[in-house]
Structure 1
Amino acid sequence: MRSSPYWPVIRHTTLRRILPGFAVSSLGDGMAVVAVGWLAIELAPAADRGVWVALAAAAYTLPGAVGALLLGRLLRRRGPARLAGWDAALRAGALGAIPVLHAFGALGIQGYVALLAVSSVLHSWGQAGVYTLIARLLPERDHLAGNAVLSGVGSLATVAGPPLATLLIGFGGPAAVLAVDATTFLVLAVTFLVAVDRDAVPEPEGDSASRATGFAVIRRIPALSGLLALSFVFFFLFGPVYVALPLHVSDDLGASASVLAAYYSAFGIGAVPGSVLTGFLGRWRSWPTTVGIVIGFGALMLPLGLGAPTAVSLVCFGAAGLLWPPYSSLSTALFQRSAPSALLPEVLAASSAVRVLSVPLGTALGGPLVAGLGAAGALRLSGAGIALVGLAAAAAPALRAARTRREPACPSRSDRES
């Protein structure tokens, strides 16, 4: 156990206080994945249910990107524990208002979507605060293991949360699930705002009062701008899967919802060991490993659209889930080690905003793709596109080096005069 890369994370005094609250909150979020859409179905007019379900799902995530863009001047100098705590407190308050209003019969679909949107305004900053804490509390060699622990907790929540939500919906309805979710965020807020000693989080050396935004910092560092572009395209191309996979199961396979649930469960089950294995990748070169994950992920997506037997495509989708946590943890570790420590919250918030936007944009593209290519065609395009983007990213350093070698050196002054 002591030789495990996770030992320094588990034995760290401050992180031992944070992790239980983070685990409880992640479980609540895993339950909310089911409840958010289900309550929208109950509240929306029958003729417009599809639209309102989509709006509710978007409201639970997208405002975080807006908050990252608009609240930088207000939040950029705040400590990471405060950022994470404020995000959790806002989530607890806004989500907690939903079951209260519902119990009094005062909750309409418009108010429901508005409260979901309010709850997520600070989420990019909250995520930035959590991973900035990891970067400041642990030495650089342990950043990947710290990220993997958080990713592993989230993966377990995606497996356990939906079944628990289903049971609770049967007893108290979806509003009861959101009440539980709000309570878990309250636990997390107390953890960050009360249980984390400010003196335990070291401040970065140097002047932290820079007015540079996270995006400005990323633009100045080619490695980060390239990684952010890769992440955006990767998640954007994965977005259509959320539209194409359900239609592929129902229309192409003629199967029931249980088969669709099996795909998502396989992905989540694969993500759990993927999170565990991530901590052991610390000695691997980060950029080639990250690019290799993108190529492998795209290749594993292809059987879903190529007519492979259901059992084979389930195994491949689970194997893709195995690669998801390492990509997230490795890419975050690259930001943690490349960005200036004083500006790390801004940089991570900008990165989170881009990721939050990319998947919904890709999901929106899924409708036209399925209409034009069919569900299987959309899945093929998604997998092939992801693999090709990974191959292009792998070839990019060699192409830049070759271009540099071909460019003639700038002539000296004496050469120009002669």
Structure 2
Amino acid sequence: MTTANKSSRRAIRSLAENYRVIRSYPGLAALLPGVFINSLGGAMVVVSVAWLALEIAPSGYEGAWVALCLGALYVPGIVGRFALSRLFAVLDGRAIIVLDAFVRAASYVLIVVTYHAGGLSGGVYLGLLAVGSVTAPWARGGLHEIVATTVGAEDRLAANSWLMAQGSIATIVGPAVGGIVAAAANPAVVFACAALAAATLMFVVILSVRRRPSSVPSSRARGSLTSSGWAAIRSNSVVLHLLILTFCVGFLFGFLEVALPLYVLNSFGSNALGLGAMWSLFGAGAVLGSFLSTLYGRLQFWTAAVLTTALWAVAITLVGLAPGFALATAFMASAGVVYAPYQAVASTFIQTSFSSVQLPSVGAAWSSIMMVAAPVGYFVGGPLLQVLSPRTVVVISGVATLAVALGGVLLGWLRRREGRIEQEMPGHSFGAE
């Protein structure tokens, strides 16, 4: 049997097992369609945000405008993490997700209306993108809470792997559909689809997720937990190091994301369809990678994190060095394969490291930090595009990420030298490395 056949059969077995786990939790099974539709809308927007930015950007400043518009999807969430803490202190995960979906849907509808009315200036566009993203960190924490309170500890890796697989499938279909719609009509129509997707999630959560009054602390207690999110992360050295590693990777991913539209346009002469195709094949690779997530249970956690980071770095470097569009897209697909399992493994590790009561505050703290990473990368990568070619910026992203992975190897070696025992993924039997 070839290695490819073995990998395919292993992926199918993993998929079947994860599906069995999901079916054993009816509440989660009912929620998943809404999560998938919302992810699909978000994946479509990946193409339209950048392409609409290119439409309204002044000549010669395309890279800077793409960076600003992509940053508007993330930076406001950092402000919302602190400014809205009193409001979210009294909400459970269900209510948080509903509110986030409503705000995002309303903002996207306004983008569509102002675009077709001829009033979508750069400032209005940035403002509406910002409003639509202001509650995003809390929504991620809310989803963590729902999974943690719905699924048993021994099944969380399977549940998170399935969620990652759904997101990856959406990443396959969404950019391709978004590229087709943007090319055939205009990028604003893509925002209309994303607004409908967010509204769908809102109604699915209302209908399928029960309120859990007993699991939601009082306003005073929840506020205390929110302020302790940072302390909880700092108290676990492995989680803290994971946060630093993930931040560095996210920062350098910002270089790739801001450079990719111009890379596709300038180096290969393609358009929104080409950009959508590249992200779609990235998602296709991520689907396979997410189904193989459980294989990472055979590795110690830090080893798995560093290994996936290094493989991701190599793949992105090859994307930037590719002589043609087809080869660059193939390397993007391979990047999805090697990095997707890391997300499910990391989520499971975090959920297992903290109590279900701590998870909303820890999730919000984690998300607010991670939401800084890519925007900082955008704001550094955007100006770089004014002096360097998009291809060069992509290569810099890959090479610098490889340096981060090597730093992770050094940190792991120092931990072993100091006699610290590395933490392993829960729910599996592990061999020594």
Q: Same fold (TM over 0.5)?
A: yes
Match of 1:156 among 155, 166, 169: 169
Deviation string, structure 1 residues 250-277 (Cα, Å, up to 9, x no partner): 66x5654576655433322211211222
Does the C-alpha gap of structure 1 residues 210 and 176 become closer, same or farther in structure 2, counting only changes over 3 Å? same
Letter in 1 for 2:401: I
| Stretch of structure 1 that moved more, 47-56 or 211-220 | 47-56
Instruction: Report the more deviating stretch, 241-250 or 346-355.
Output: 241-250
Deviation string 1:185-224 (CA, Å, 9 cap, x unpaired) is 11111222343111499569xx766343322221222121
Find the partner of 1:218 among 219, 228, 233: 233
- 1:233 correspondence with 2:255: no
The 5-angstrom pairing of residues 5-404 of structure 1 reads 5-42=18-55, 51-169=64-182, 173-199=186-212, 210-211=224-225, 212-245=227-260, 256-257=270-271, 263-305=278-320, 313-367=328-382, 369=384, 375-403=390-418
Gaps of 5+ in 2: 1-12, 421-433
Q: Is the 8 A contact 1:25 1:187 kept in 2?
A: yes
Whether the 8 Å CA contact 1:18–1:196 is kept in 2: the answer is yes
Q: CA deviation at 1:136?
A: 1.6
Per mean C-alpha deviation after superposition, the further-off stretch among 370-379 and 110-119 is 370-379
Offset, 1:94: 1.9
Q: State, as a whole percentage, how many aligned pairs show the same letter.
A: 33
- The CA distance in 2 between the partners of 1:154 and 1:59, in whole Å, is 22
Tell me how far apart the structure 2 counterparts of residues 24 and 374 of structure 1 sit (CA, whole Å): 36
- Looking at structure 2, the residues matched to 78 and 319 of structure 1 have their Cα atoms a distance apart, in angstroms, of 40
Residues 197 and 333 of structure 1: CA distance in aligned 2, closer, same or farther (over 3 Å): same
> Does the CA contact (< 8 Å) of 2:161 and 2:341 recur in 1?
yes
Pairwise CA distance, 1:3: 6.4
How far residue 306 of structure 1 moved from its aligned partner, in angstroms, is 5.0
Q: Distance in 2 between matches of 1:3 and 1:173?
A: 39
Question: Using the alignment, how far apart are the partners of 2:153 and 2:178 within structure 1?
Answer: 37
**Greater CA radius of gyration, 1 or 2?**
1
Q: Give the SS at the match of 2:101.
A: helix
Q: Which amino acid aligns with 1:349?
A: A
| Distance of 1:184 and 1:201 partners within structure 2 | 30
CA contact (8 A) 1:144 1:282 kept: no
CA contact (8 A) 2:43 2:174 kept: yes
> Residue 155 of structure 1 aligns to which amino acid in structure 2?
S
Structure 2 CA distance for aligned equivalents of residues 250 and 37 of structure 1: 12
Are the aligned partners of 2:91 and 2:216 in contact in 1 as well (CA < 8 Å)?
no
Q: CA deviation at 1:150?
A: 1.8
Q: Which amino acid aligns with 1:30?
A: A
SS class of match (2:292): helix
Asked if structure 1 preserves the Cα contact closer than 8 Å seen for 2:318 and 2:328, the reply is yes
Aligned residues: 402
Q: Is the 8 A contact 2:47 2:276 kept in 1?
A: no
CA distance in 2, matches of 1:396, 1:360: 26
SS of 1:341's partner is: coil
Compute the displacement of 1:27 (Å). Answer: 1.4
Aligned letter for 2:354? A
Structure 1 position 58, deviation (Å): 2.0
State how far apart, in whole Å, the 2-side matches of 1:10 and 1:213 are: 34
Q: Give the alignment's TM-score, normalised by structure 1.
A: 0.84
Pick closer, same or farther for the CA change 1:254–1:344 going to 2, 3 Å.
closer
Q: Deviation of residue 232 (structure 1)?
A: 0.4
Distance 1:295 1:340 in 2: 31
What amino acid does structure 2 have at the position aligned with 1:85?
A: V
Which runs of 5 or more structure 1 residues have no equivalent in the other structure?
406-418
When the two structures are superposed, what TM-score results if normalisation uses the length of structure 2? 0.81
Aligned CA RMSD, in angstroms, stands at 3.2
